[in-house]
A and B are shown apart, each in its own frame.
Chain A
Amino acid sequence: MTTRVPRHVAVVGAGPAGLAAADAALGAGARVTLIDSAEQPGGQYHRMLPDAYDAAHPERLQHGWHAFDRRRRRVLAHPHCTWLPETTVWALERPAPEETGPPRLHLLRGPADGAGRTRHTLDPDALLLAVGAHDRVLPFPGWELPGVFTAGAAQALAKGERVVVGDHVTVAGSGPFLLPVAAALLEAGSRVSAVLEANPPSTVARGWSRRPWELAAQAGKTGELAIYTSALLRHRVPYRTGRTVIEARGDGRVEEVVSARLRPDWSVVPGSEHTTAADALCVTHGFSPQLELPLAAGCALRTTAAGPFVDTDDDQRTSRPEVYAAGEITGIAGAPAARAEGAVAGWIAGGGDPAAPAVRRLRRSRDQGRAFAERLARAHPIGAAWPGWLRPETVICRCEETDYASLCRAACDPAGASPRVAKLATRAGLGPCQARVCGPTVAELHTRLSGDPADGLPVAGPHRRPIAQPIRLGELAAPPEPLPHHAPRTPPKKESSS
């Protein structure tokens, strides 16, 4: 590179992908602004204990802690990196059609949902989105009861603040994420009654055992899963396939869960129901990528069997000029793949040589990660017959408490069959979460019930929001404040010398 003026890359999200991206962009000579809504980098995967816990051994809760810790320190201490914790991107303003470059970032800095946050804008040379994903949970009778948690919530509470969600916990759903969640609960002293994988052994085995050489390339990931599996064995926790929780029951909170055997299409085998006492239930059926910001930036999506993801080229470029994407928003493939994608994206966005040998290795690693993602999707699909466990009164939209019967009525009414009309009639997706939780489910159920793909935007619709994060009117009215060239930075806490 002969450019003398370093490029300025804004990286949104400081999980495995974003942190790797920042590291690589700095390595390419760029100036980096690293933005995350949390107080500390790490994302969900490397969720750290709060500094105030003064933990002597944070590494004991983390797979791959030392590599993460080295990278975190290197990035945060780098003279060309500005770290903006507790910062949310509440809007992206696209450039005028005749202008090139990425959108302008509108930021809010300060405690989550606080009234006194400050407003800032940022105009980088490149925008790199690495905002990750959250649990996708299919509705079932009783899933709105207190004591039903997403698997991610249980893990975040156990790893991030040492709170266990219950003493007799059932972990259910589909995917390899069930294992670390169960292991985190066991480590924190919960009893886990069972881990229930909804897909039958035949489906899981087909995904995992095809082309075994791809698994070898993801040795880090399979080794990690082996550690969790051994924790389950040690605690004699049964791992059952082809079975899931179809109902949570209790008076004002979870007291028992009903599980049932499933056929490969996730239809319930009649008579196979089994009731277990539980004070907590942790569920995940996969992950939803957080697509609000990619869509606000205008990035094209690609549709896969596992849902829509941001489309990227070989260098992690999206369809928009100077907008890059990495990590779970491009496909659910786990931390090693997210790191490789982040590194490719950061290097290219930072102005690094696309032909450098190091980036060629990273692309290979990224491609192996993508193959791994396809394998995961094949091994842990959502069975088409899952709505069979819904009842007319089952809540579908948690915010508005819209039930299945209301959705059916709205979808089957010829006058209101348009998804938008149905949405207004049922209020599904119009509550505080703005369809983040029920959006994909409502879209899927609507399409099935009415046979009508939703306005040409069947799946992307739920993620389109003019304001990506809640902002208060007072904050909107205040003029943006200048962002310090280098925000005040507190040096990362020293690691224990033991």
Chain B
Amino acid sequence: MSPRRVPAGSDATGRRDRPLRITVDGEPADGIAGQSLAGVLLAAGRLAWRRGPSGAARGVFCGIGVCFDCLVTVNAERDVRACRRRAQDGDEVTTQSRHTDRNPPPTADGTPGTEER
């Protein structure tokens, strides 16, 4: 089984959900207003979305913005901590990788490529 959201009907907090939808690498993922991007991804059944240097899968580890394991690209903004960023309806999330096979060579002016530094 995977992470999931407590169903609103059985939630002791008596919350009232307003749905939102984001896309992850083009695929839709449904969440509710107020969730972090990490929360939306987890509750949508994705336990991992980033790849480390070896290609190993990563998702949420610290959940409070310390470990940087959960980095994603949001609407063309790179290196956003998914656990810290509130999801907005329509956000386009692109997953990131530090896997060397996917790392493009540095650009001509010596700045790093578009993959993570």
A residues near B, CB below 8 A?
A: 37, 39, 44, 49-58, 60-61, 111-115, 134-135, 144, 146-150, 152-154, 156-157, 161-168, 187-189, 252-253, 279-280, 398-401, 431-433, 436-437, 470
A357 to B89, CA, bound (A): 52
Q: How far is it, in angstroms, between the C-alpha of A354 and the C-alpha of B115 when the chains are bound?
A: 54
Which of these, A57, A115, A161, A437, contacts B39 with CB under 8 Å?
A161
Question: How far, in whole Å, are A153 and B59 apart by their CA atoms in the complex?
Answer: 12
Name the segment of B22-30, B42-50, B101-109 touching the other chain. B42-50
Of listed B56, B67, B81, residue having the most chain A CB within 10 A:
B67
CA distance A55 to B8 in the complex (A): 10
B38 partner residues in chain A, CB cutoff 8 A: 157
Q: Please give the distance in Å from B59's CB to the nearest CB on chain A.
A: 4
Judge whether B84 and A60 touch: CB under 8 Å.
no
Complex Cα gap A188–B16 (Å): 16
Minimum CB–CB distance for A399 against chain B, Å? 7
Give the residue of B47, B61, B85 whose beta carbon is less than 8 angstroms from that of A112.
B85
Closest to A165 in B: B3
The digit string for B39-73, where 1 denotes a CB below 8 A from any CB of A, is 10011000110001110111111111111110100
Q: How far is the CA of A432 from the CA of B97 in the complex (A)?
A: 12
Residue of A nearest to B117 (CB): A432
CA distance A398 to B17 in the complex (A): 35
* B65 engages A53 (CB within 8 Å): no
Residues of A within 8 A of B58 (CB): 144, 146
Given known A161-B35, A280-B3, contact A113–B13 (CB-CB < 8 A): no
A279: chain B residues at CB < 8 Å are 1-2
The answer on a CB contact under 8 Å between B79 and A147 is: no
Question: Considering only CB atoms, which chain A residue lies closest to B16 in the complex?
Answer: A54
Contact with B85, one of A113, A135, A157 (Cβ below 8 angstroms): A113
Asked if B21 is an interface residue, CB under 8 A from chain A, the answer is no
Having A144-B52, A166-B2, A432-B71, one finds 18 other A-B pairs with CB under 8 Å, namely: A49-B13, A50-B35, A55-B13, A112-B80, A112-B81, A113-B77, A113-B81, A144-B58, A147-B47, A150-B67, A157-B63, A161-B35, A189-B10, A398-B52, A399-B52, A399-B68, A433-B67, A433-B68
Contact check, B34 vs A398: say whether CB atoms are below 8 A apart: no
Among residues of A, the one whose C-beta sits closest to the C-beta of B8 is A162
Considering the complex, give the chain B residue whose CB is closest to the CB of A437.
Answer: B67
7 tightest CB-CB pairs across the interface, nearest first?
A153-B63, A50-B34, A52-B34, A56-B14, A112-B84, A146-B48, A432-B68
Which residues of chain B are near A156, meaning CB under 8 Å?
63-64, 83
List residues of B whose CB falls within 8 A of some A CB: 1-6, 10-18, 32-36, 38-39, 42-43, 47-48, 52-54, 56-69, 71, 77, 79-81, 83-86, 116-117
Chain A interface mostly: loop
Asked whether, in the complex, the Cβ of B66 is within 8 Å of the Cβ of A134, the reply is: yes
- Complex: how many Å from CA A433 to CA B85? 17
The answer to whether B1 and A167 have CB atoms under 8 Å apart is yes
Cα-based distance from A115 to B78 in the complex (angstroms): 9
Q: Are B84 and A37 in contact (CB under 8 A)?
A: yes
Q: Which residues of B contact A114 (CB under 8 A)?
A: 77, 80, 85
Structural contact, B59 and A53, CB atoms closer than 8 A: no
Chain B residue numbers with a CB within 8 Å of A49 are: 13, 15, 34
Q: Closest CB-CB distance, A311 to chain B, in whole Å?
A: 23
Question: In the complex, are the beta carbons of B61 and A148 less than 8 A apart?
Answer: yes
How many residue pairs link A and B with beta carbons under 8 A? The number is 170
CB of A150 within 8 A of CB of B81, answer no
How many angstroms between the C-alpha atoms of A148 and B117 in the bound complex?
25
* Cross-chain contact B62 with A53 (CB below 8 angstroms): no
Contact A166 B1 (CB under 8 A): yes
CB-defined contacts of A432 to chain B, threshold 8 Å: 68, 71, 79, 116-117
Q: In whole angstroms, what is the CA distance A158 to B47 when docked?
A: 15
B61 and A153: CB pair below 8 A?
Answer: yes
B15 in contact with A252 (CB, 8 Å) = no
Assess the A144–B79 pair: CB atoms within 8 A: no
Hey, which chain A residues are within 8 Å of B47, CB to CB? 146-147, 253
State the CA gap A350–B77 with chains docked (Å). Answer: 40
Distance in angstroms between the alpha carbons of A39 and B33 in the assembled complex: 14
A-B contacts, 29 listed (Cβ < 8 Å): A37-B84, A49-B34, A52-B32, A53-B16, A53-B17, A53-B33, A54-B15, A56-B14, A57-B13, A111-B86, A112-B85, A112-B86, A135-B62, A146-B58, A146-B59, A147-B59, A149-B61, A152-B64, A162-B11, A162-B13, A163-B3, A163-B4, A165-B3, A189-B6, A253-B48, A401-B53, A436-B66, A437-B61, A470-B79
Residues of B within 8 A of A52 (CB): 18, 32-34
CA distance A98 to B48 in the complex (A): 52
Distance between Cα atoms of A271 and B43 in the complex (Å): 38
Residues in A with CB closer than 8 Å to B18 are: 52, 54
A-chain residues with CB within 8 Å of residue B61 when the two chains form the complex: 148-150, 153, 398, 437
Q: Are A153 and B48 CB-contacts (below 8 A) given A114-B77, A167-B1?
A: no
Cα separation A113 to B33 with both chains bound (whole Å): 19
The residue in chain A whose Cβ has the minimal distance to the Cβ of B18 is A52
Chain A nearest CB, measured from B79 CB (Å): 6
On chain A, the residues within 8 Å of B56 by CB distance are 144, 401
Please report the C-alpha to C-alpha distance between residue A411 and residue B80 in the assembled complex, in whole angstroms.
Answer: 34
Assembled-state Cα–Cα distance A156/B70 (Å): 15
Distance in angstroms between the alpha carbons of A181 and B59 in the assembled complex: 20
Known: A52-B33, A152-B62. A157 touches B13 (CB 8 A): no
